[in-house]
Amino acid sequence: MGDRWHVEVDRSLCIGSAQCLHHAPDGFRLDSARQSHPVAPDTDANERVLEAAESCPVEAITITLGDSGEPVFPPEE
């Protein structure tokens, strides 16, 4: 069985660039304020969701392992 992720968008950082939608159209939606939110905050590990987080120009998307809370993105330095 694969990893489960918890995906969050820091709405105080989100600028509505929609890069997340470009990379993972099934994983994110923009609300009426043009801010992103994950469709399913708890989801199976998914390369497209990771690409979305990596492409966010303001690094508003964080991904952690669902069971341990260990960071997936951004990685710990």
CATH of domain 4-73: 3.30.70.20
| pLDDT, averaged in runs of 10, over the chain (77 residues) | 89 96 96 95 96 97 96 88
Q: Where are the beta strands (DSSP E) in 15-75?
A: 28-30, 36-38, 42-44, 61-65, 71-73
Domain boundaries, the chain: 4-73
As given in the structure block, the two tokens for residue 20 are: 């997340």
Specify the pLDDT at position 15. 96
Specify the pLDDT at position 2. 73
